[in-house]
Amino acid sequence: MKRYCREVLALTACLVLLPVHAAHPLEDRLWDAQAKRFISQQAFLQRAEQARYVLLGERHDSEAHHARQLQVLQMLGERGGRPALALEQFDHEHQDALEAAQAAGQRDAEALADAGRLNRRGWRWPMYRDLIDYAAAHGWPLLAANLSRAEARRIVLGETRPELPPIDSVQQGLLEADVIQGHCGHRPSAAVLGGMVTAQRARDARMAATLEAAPAGVVVLIAGAGHVRRDRAVPRHLADPARALTVGLIEVIDGSEDPSGYDAAGFDILWFTPAQRRPDPCAAPLPGLAGPGSSSSVPRNSVSKDSP
């Protein structure tokens, strides 16, 4: 018995000496990027309820981001809201089938994912299941917001030329930088890069059109953070961008505790989340590209490594 007690005490002492992970001071705090101050979740919810469009920008593989998105839906639902839920993860061409499934009373997320032809492997299913489950259980409309990969590729190849509003050289440069960064520093040929920027803009325009066609009331968009930026993405294609609330779900960085040091351009609010450990997405070369800074033909994977 004495030996057992000694072993327990020794184990307890070891556990006490183990380092305890301290939460980053910014985790789960909301930063008003315009007012340069923190706001409460209640203040955020009031702004979300007053907006026509609530754009929740994520990193696609972040469990923390999906949990916070669900939290937003739950907060709106608990206040009696009945928003529409638009998702980048559904291609617009399958909207009719998705709508028909809901009209027939389908509320199971798996069946709705089938109806909307959601690319489970590309979008890391079941990462979006809880969002779809919650919206469907409450009878909220589900909206397919994205262009298909095939449609985007035709734009990259120049086979399709979408009608888009003109942009200036500054906007073009920012979008080109986004594409290059999303492809691990690889710079395609000028023609291909231009096509990729056009495809990205066409996706933003498609999402904006989906939001504007949504039923009256609040509509929430789930999309990659790059798509919700007010300075160069979906809001620029809205007839009234002032009615949008853009939220960037941002992973904290060790040693970076000043919220003003994070990229807040284009976001109304930054919602800080725990960082997720993941392998370097640029450790392996992208298919069809030679190396950083090089030019190439059309990459087989013509979207960033954070997209399906």
Domain boundaries, the chain: 147-213
Residue 190 near residue 198 (C-beta atoms within 8 A):
no
Residue 256 CA from chain centroid, whole number: 22
Rounded distance between C-alpha atoms, residue 127 and residue 125, angstroms: 5
What CA–CA distance (Å, rounded) separates 288 from 281?
16
CA distances from 48 to 53, 55, 72, 218, 269 (A): 8, 9, 9, 8, 11
- Residue 162: burial class (beta carbons within 10 Å; 0-12, 13-18, 19+): middle
Enclosing H/E stretch for 245: strand 244-251
Mean pLDDT of 240-244: 97
pLDDT at 224: 97
**pLDDT confidence of residue 13:** 47
Name the nearest CA neighbour of 204 among 64, 92, 298, 44: 92
Instruction: Output the pLDDT for position 16.
Output: 47
> 298 or 97: which carries more pLDDT confidence?
97
- Residues 126-185 have pLDDT tens digits of 999 999 999 999 999 999 999 999 999 999 999 999 999 999 999 999 999 999 998 899
Can you read off the two tokens belonging to residue 299?
């990459």
Residue 296: per-residue pLDDT: 47
In this prediction, residue 302 has a pLDDT band, given cuts at 50, 70 and 90, of: very low
As a whole number, mean pLDDT of residues 255-262 equals 96
Polymer length in residues for the chain: 308
Residue 44: pLDDT over 90: yes
* The predicted structure's pLDDT at residue 281: 81
Q: How confident is the model at residue 68 (pLDDT cuts 50, 70, 90)?
A: very high
CA distances from 83 to 73, 95, 221 (A): 8, 17, 10
Q: Which residues of 246-266 are buried (b: 16+ CB within 10 A; e: fewer)?
A: bbbbbbbeeeeeebeebebeb
Q: Which two tokens stand for residue 239?
A: 């007839």
The residue with tokens 């030019």 is: 295
pLDDT, residue 283, reads 83
Question: Which residues, listed in sequence order, are joined to residue 253 by a DSSP beta bridge?
Answer: 256
Alpha-carbon gap, residue 162 to 155, rounded angstroms: 8
How much is the pLDDT for 18? Answer: 44
The model's pLDDT over 263-285, given as tens digits with 9 standing for 90+, comes to 999 999 999 999 999 888 888 76
Is the pLDDT at 11 greater than 80? The verdict is: no
Residue 12, pLDDT above cutoff 90: no
Span 82-105, average pLDDT? 97
Report the C-alpha gap between 170 and 285 in whole angstroms. 29
How many angstroms from the chain centroid is the CA of residue 204?
A: 12
Percent of the chain with pLDDT over 70: 85
Q: At what angle do helices 63-78 and 129-137 cross, to 10 degrees?
A: 10
Specify the pLDDT at position 182: 87
pTM of structure: 0.87
Q: Stretch 70-91: mean pLDDT, rounded?
A: 97
Q: What is the pLDDT of residues 210-221, one digit of tens each?
A: 999 999 999 999
Q: How far is CA 172 from the centre of its chain?
A: 21
Please report the pLDDT score of residue 305 as a whole number. Answer: 37
Over residues 99-114, the mean pLDDT reads 98
Question: Which has more confidence, 99 or 283?
Answer: 99
| Confidence band of 286 (pLDDT split at 50, 70, 90) | low
Does position 59 have pLDDT exceeding 80, yes or no? yes
- Which residues sit opposite 87 in a β-bridge? 144, 222
